[in-house]
Structure 1
Amino acid sequence: MAVIRGLFVYPVKSCGAIALDRAQLESQGLMWDRHWMVVDATGRFVSQREFAAMARIVPAFEEDGVRLSMDGMDASLLLPFAPRGDEARMSATVWKDTFEALDEGDEAAQWFTRALGVPVRLVRFAQDVTRLASKKWTQDQDAPTQFADGFPILVASESSLADLNARLAAKGAPPVPMSRFRPNIVVDGGEAFDEDFIDTLSIEGEAGHDDVVLRFVKPCSRCPITTIDQHTGERDAHWPDEPLDTLQTFRVDARVDGGLTFGQNATVLSGAGRRLAVGAQAQWEYRFE
């Protein structure tokens, strides 16, 4: 058995997280997760890989939308939940996927341009657009997602983080928090890296509701964003390449062309439209091949 210890959404791709006690699950992931995205002049997404300061853009839910703030900015920016209806459409690209998105206008573009110091625009995922995760990994399941790198949900394990931090401590490096890995769901239970062998994760529904079932489909390859403090937007002066240097010693994964993996990408098998709650019991089924 396991327990859900954390639920997180990232309304703007590569910006800060909102920690939730309860989260609405949709077929494309947690509601409002990666619903907005910052793009360059070509429509290609930008992230903390190029602009570590994006970590310092802090979102908060309000009644009518998501408010963004950042230290050093003289004003915040409100992103309404409801589209205006007159947004211009533009081409947006996430890795190899290019599709139409809604331009959020000049005010949002100017706010992000001031925040990052380069010309950028903000786009919203269009409700009439469907973007599917790679069927190479989803067992031919149609798994919609929005502006996430590739899959609806990212699950990480506290046991795995504890193992990684023990290895960091052994070399004198400071521990890293779970925020470095930007998960949607944090699970407590089982042995370190059990998630490598899990097929499905069933999470108990709220009273009167059936369980939510997620399928683990692809190990998550980690990038230099894991080296960025998600509060300060900076790297450790003495250990700038951690935790990647330590992951290199034991988490090279041939399934993802030698990538360094931590956590599992997941799709929604059942339970879209239901709510997940921190503290909910969960259990997993192992994959036997």
Structure 2
Amino acid sequence: MFLSGLYRYPVKSCQAQSLEASAVDLLGLRGDRRWLVVEASNGRFLTQRAWPRLTQLKASLGEAGRLLLEAPGQTPLEVAVPADDEDLRGVTIWRDTLRVPDAGDEAAGWLSELLGKPVRLVYCPEQRARYLPSGYGLNSDRAAFPDGFPLLLIGQGSLDELNRRVGRELEMLRFRPNLVVHGAEPFAEDGWKRIRIGEMTFRVLKPSVRCILTTLDPRTGERSADREPLATLKTFRERDGDVLFGQNLAVDGSGEIALGMEVEVLK
């Protein structure tokens, strides 16, 4: 087995950034989901679930972590990483509330134009990262702005089997993984507890619960009229009311991983 896909999402719910290699630290892939778009009025987070226009937001990272925002019809904007303890804004992501730096009025205006509503852009310094959901991982495990966990892994074989059942080819990026593993049997990752990629080790914490976001075309933001692949997943991947696809991971230590690295199941 080997690592065949490596993706980060600098802004939560933006387009995927395909990588050849990446540094990995406590929060997952370096720079992954460290930025978040929130409602200006109440700090509630926004995602493609309700705002499919975010599928058109391209975000990439430059020197010193600076963020480059691009979208059709708008002039690209570069955003500096805000100071850790200045202009803090209260935000809510699922059940978590935290105070994080605001990225300023220019970024807010640019994104408000994109989405057609008043929004703000915020950043998560490592020391302000959230703890993982209760009952999962170690006390030291943290996450920035993913739904709950630092990393998401999916086996290519699992998607191939799902596509066979759906009857057409659906993109891996509908499921927004960080890591894609080639060479495993369909859903083999369900039974993994600990894996090694290169010199890095990862703990498999829980299956990923899937939602309506998977029915969005990641290129256009259009929703599948037949509610695929969620409809087919419900026929064979539903457990206690949750539809499961992929596995959430935490990382031990820090280092670097790259495409082509061997993936070894340790437990």
TM-score normalised by length of structure 2: 0.95
Matched with 2:99 is: 100
State whether residues 238 and 244 of structure 2, in contact with CA within 8 Å, keep that contact through their aligned partners in structure 1.
Answer: yes
Matched, 1:91 2:80: no
Matched with 1:278 is: 259
Matched with 1:150 is: 148
Matched, 1:265 2:248: yes
1:85 CA displacement? 6.1
SS at match of 1:219: strand
SS at match of 1:260: strand
**Alignment of structure 1 residues 128-143 onto 2, 5 Å:** 128-138=127-137, 140-143=138-141
1:153 CA displacement? 0.6
**Alignment of structure 1 residues 1-289 onto 2, 5 Å:** 2-40=1-39, 41-64=41-64, 65-73=66-74, 75-80=75-80, 82-84=81-83, 87-138=86-137, 140-169=138-167, 174-204=168-198, 211-236=199-224, 238-239=225-226, 241-254=227-240, 258-268=241-251, 270-272=252-254, 274-286=255-267
State whether residues 84 and 101 of structure 2, in contact with CA within 8 Å, keep that contact through their aligned partners in structure 1.
Answer: no
Give the percent of matched residue pairs that are identical in Structure 1 and Structure 2: 38
Which residues of structure 2 form unaligned runs of 5+?
Answer: none
State whether residues 87 and 104 of structure 1, in contact with CA within 8 Å, keep that contact through their aligned partners in structure 2.
Answer: no
Which amino acid counterpart does residue 92 of structure 1 have in structure 2?
A: V
- 1:47-66, Cα deviation, whole Å (9 max, x unpaired): 00110010110123333522
RMSD over equivalenced CA pairs, Å: 1.5
State whether residues 9 and 32 of structure 2, in contact with CA within 8 Å, keep that contact through their aligned partners in structure 1.
Answer: yes
Instruction: Give the aligned length.
Output: 265
CA distance 1:217–1:127, change in 2 (3 Å): closer
CA distance 1:141–1:87, change in 2 (3 Å): closer
CA distance 1:84–1:98, change in 2 (3 Å): closer
TM-score normalised by length of structure 1: 0.88
Mapped partners of 1:86, 1:215: distance in 2: 32
- 1:64-123, Cα deviation, whole Å (9 max, x unpaired): 5221111122x112123x434674101111100101111111111111100000111111
State whether residues 6 and 179 of structure 2, in contact with CA within 8 Å, keep that contact through their aligned partners in structure 1.
Answer: yes
- 1:159-211, Cα deviation, whole Å (9 max, x unpaired): 00000000011xxxx3211000000111112210011111011111xxxxxx2
State whether residues 93 and 99 of structure 1, in contact with CA within 8 Å, keep that contact through their aligned partners in structure 2.
Answer: yes
Which amino acid counterpart does residue 261 of structure 2 have in structure 1?
A: A
State whether residues 155 and 187 of structure 2, in contact with CA within 8 Å, keep that contact through their aligned partners in structure 1.
Answer: yes
Mapped partners of 1:149, 1:4: distance in 2: 23
- 1:234-265, Cα deviation, whole Å (9 max, x unpaired): 123x43x11000001000023xxx21011000
Matched with 1:207 is: none
SS at match of 2:112: helix
